[in-house]
């Protein structure tokens, strides 16, 4: 097991990619704090760990709440004696052209992705420094950390911003053995993506099938969605990687949609 004895926090782990990563970390032996604004969903993820070598703890954590983030991280540190891995994953999407975009929506998307990544990273870095055994910080970017699509201005801006944050964490964290990297998935079938298929179809005036084939998967090498398992394996790899040879990087996991 790659992560035996490690303690991890995954945010937005009640659904989709975060849930799959939390389960994968537990399968590899980690004790996992399952943070989500939807506590029932977080508890369900913990139940799904039944039988895994690791274990889980559901945390009521809105990543935009400084007090909830700090309290959740302190709870993990007290219960399990430290914190070794953060996967800052909670996120939302909103489909609209800039000219129709409410300022409040812009702020909400930026807040969950960027403020959430900052607050969780800060809280975890403080514990990692105090415990002096290093750590891995993984921010959930996107292909939209690298390229732009119409109708997703705050999402694309926030996902680009995460690259900068990870690079600063990599530089500041190095002295304490803290590594920071970004995973950049292509489209993965989760509730976040399923919701936007009809929304994009309506905005673009095309069918849902066309959204999938001409918008979402057009530039992949094989016309296939990236899977939950693809992303979870990447997270385990980055969490377990032993040295600072891999820090400040972003890894695109997109079936070739973006090659760099
Ligand atoms: P999802 O909607 O399935 O899950 C998101 C989870 O985050 C939900 O459980 C939700 O309750 C939680 N959440 C929302 N706001 C929160 C908050 N303020 N605090 C804590 N939890 C909150 O979405 P997903 O597709 O699994 O996306 C997860 C991450 O992966 C996001 O950052 C997203 O941008 C990124 N991503 C997704 C895709 C994709 O194709 N699905 C591609 C690239 C990147």
Q: What is the CATH number of the domain that holds 18?
A: 3.40.50.720
83 pLDDT band (50/70/90 cuts)?
Answer: very high
CA–CA gap between residue 137 and residue 258 (Å, rounded):
23
Query: How high is the pLDDT of residue 107?
Result: 98
207 pLDDT band (50/70/90 cuts)?
Answer: very high
Q: Is residue 106 part of a domain?
A: yes
Query: How high is the pLDDT of residue 136?
Result: 98
Give mean pLDDT, residues 229-255.
98
Question: What ligand 1 atom has the least distance to the C-alpha of 13?
Answer: 9
209 pLDDT band (50/70/90 cuts)?
Answer: very high
Query: How high is the pLDDT of residue 139?
Result: 99
Per the prediction, the chain carries an average pLDDT of: 98
Query: How high is the pLDDT of residue 64?
Result: 99
Q: What burial letters (b/e) apply to 43-61, b meaning 16+ CB within 10 Å?
A: bbbbebbeebebebbbbeb
CA–CA gap between residue 123 and residue 134 (Å, rounded):
14
CA–CA gap between residue 122 and residue 118 (Å, rounded):
6
Q: Is residue 194 part of a domain?
A: no
pLDDT in tens, 2-32: 999 999 999 999 999 999 999 999 999 999 9
* Residue 113 near residue 159 (C-beta atoms within 8 A): yes
CA–CA gap between residue 184 and residue 39 (Å, rounded):
26
Query: How high is the pLDDT of residue 124?
Result: 99
Query: Is the pTM for the entire model greater than 0.85?
Result: yes
Count of domains forming the chain: 1
* Residue 25 near residue 47 (C-beta atoms within 8 A): no
Which residue among 114, 144, 190 is best mutated to probe the pocket of ligand 1, counting the most ligand atoms within 8 A of its Cβ?
190
Q: Cα separations (Å) of 81 from 10, 128, 133, 154?
A: 17, 11, 11, 37
213 pLDDT band (50/70/90 cuts)?
Answer: very high
CA–CA gap between residue 221 and residue 66 (Å, rounded):
41
Structural domain boundaries, residue 151? 7-187+226-253
**CA neighbor of 98 nearest in space, from 23, 44, 153, 20:** 153
Q: Is residue 99 part of a domain?
A: yes
Residue 140: Cβ-neighbour burial (10 angstroms; 0-12, 13-18, 19+): buried
82 pLDDT band (50/70/90 cuts)?
Answer: very high
pLDDT in tens, 141-192: 999 999 999 999 999 999 999 999 999 999 999 999 999 999 999 999 999 9
Q: Is residue 211 part of a domain?
A: no
CA 205 to chain centre: 31
Q: Is residue 212 part of a domain?
A: no
Protein residues with CB under 6 Å of any ligand 1 atom: 11-12, 14-18, 36-38, 41, 61-64, 89-92, 112, 140, 142, 185, 187-188, 190-193
Q: What is the distance in A from the centroid of ligand 1 to the CA of 115?
A: 14
To which H or E segment does residue 9 belong? strand 7-11
Bridge-partner residues for 60, per DSSP?
A: 36
Which residue among 21, 192, 230 is best mutated to probe the pocket of ligand 1, counting the most ligand atoms within 8 A of its Cβ?
192
Query: How high is the pLDDT of residue 69?
Result: 99
CA–CA gap between residue 238 and residue 241 (Å, rounded):
5
Q: Is residue 130 part of a domain?
A: yes
Bridge-partner residues for 34, per DSSP?
A: 10, 58
Query: How high is the pLDDT of residue 1?
Result: 92
Q: Is residue 245 part of a domain?
A: yes
CA 178 to chain centre: 17
Whether 155 is a known active-site residue: answer yes
Q: What is the distance in A from the centroid of ligand 1 to the CA of 14?
A: 9
Q: What is the distance in A from the centroid of ligand 1 to the CA of 217?
A: 20
155, 187, 225, 257: the catalytic one is 155
120 pLDDT band (50/70/90 cuts)?
Answer: very high
To which H or E segment does residue 163 belong? helix 153-173
User: Phi and psi dihedrals of 184, rounded to 5?
Assistant: -120, 85
* Residue 97 near residue 48 (C-beta atoms within 8 A): no
Give mean pLDDT, residues 69-87.
98
52 pLDDT band (50/70/90 cuts)?
Answer: very high
229 pLDDT band (50/70/90 cuts)?
Answer: very high
SS3 120: helix
Question: What ligand 1 atom has the least distance to the C-alpha of 64?
Answer: 18
Percent above pLDDT 90 for the chain: 100
Give mean pLDDT, residues 51-57.
96
pLDDT in tens, 243-253: 999 999 999 99
Q: Is residue 218 part of a domain?
A: no
Which residue among 61, 90, 184 is best mutated to probe the pocket of ligand 1, counting the most ligand atoms within 8 A of its Cβ?
90
Per the document, the length of the chain is 260
Name the packing angle between helices 116-131 and 153-173 (round to 10°). Answer: 20
Question: What ligand 1 atom has the least distance to the C-alpha of 191?
Answer: 3
Percent above pLDDT 70 for the chain: 100
């Amino acid at each position: 097991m790659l992560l035996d004895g490690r303690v991890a926090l995954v945010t937005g782990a009640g659904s989709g990619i975060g849930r799959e990563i939390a389960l994968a970390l537990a399968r590899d032996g980690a004790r996992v704090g399952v943070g989500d604004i939807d506590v029932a969903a977080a508890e369900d993820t913990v139940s799904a760990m039944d039988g895994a070598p690791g274990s889980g703890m559901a945390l009521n954590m809105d990543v935009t709440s400084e007090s909830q983030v700090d309290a959740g991280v302190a709870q993990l540190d007290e219960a399990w004696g430290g914190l070794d891995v953060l996967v800052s994953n909670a996120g939302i999407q909103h489909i609209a052209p800039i000219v129709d975009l409410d300022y409040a929506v812009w702020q909400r998307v930026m807040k969950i992705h960027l403020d959430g990544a900052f607050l969780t990273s800060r809280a975890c870095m403080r514990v990692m420094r105090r415990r002096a055994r290093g750590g891995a910080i993984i921010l959930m970017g996107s292909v939209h950390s690298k390229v732009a699509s119409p109708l997703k201005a705050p999402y694309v801006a926030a996902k680009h911003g995460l690259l900068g944050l990870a690079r600063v964490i990599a530089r500041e964290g190095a002295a304490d053995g803290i590594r920071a990297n970004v995973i950049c998935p292509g489209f993965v079938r989760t509730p976040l993506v399923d919701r936007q298929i009809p929304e994009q179809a309506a905005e673009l005036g095309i069918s849902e099938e066309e959204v999938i084939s001409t918008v979402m998967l057009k530039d992949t090498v094989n016309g296939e969605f990236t899977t939950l398992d693809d992303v979870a394996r990447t997270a385990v790899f980055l969490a377990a990687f032993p040295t600072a040879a891999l820090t400040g990087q972003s890894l695109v996991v997109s079936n070739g949609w973006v090659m760099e």
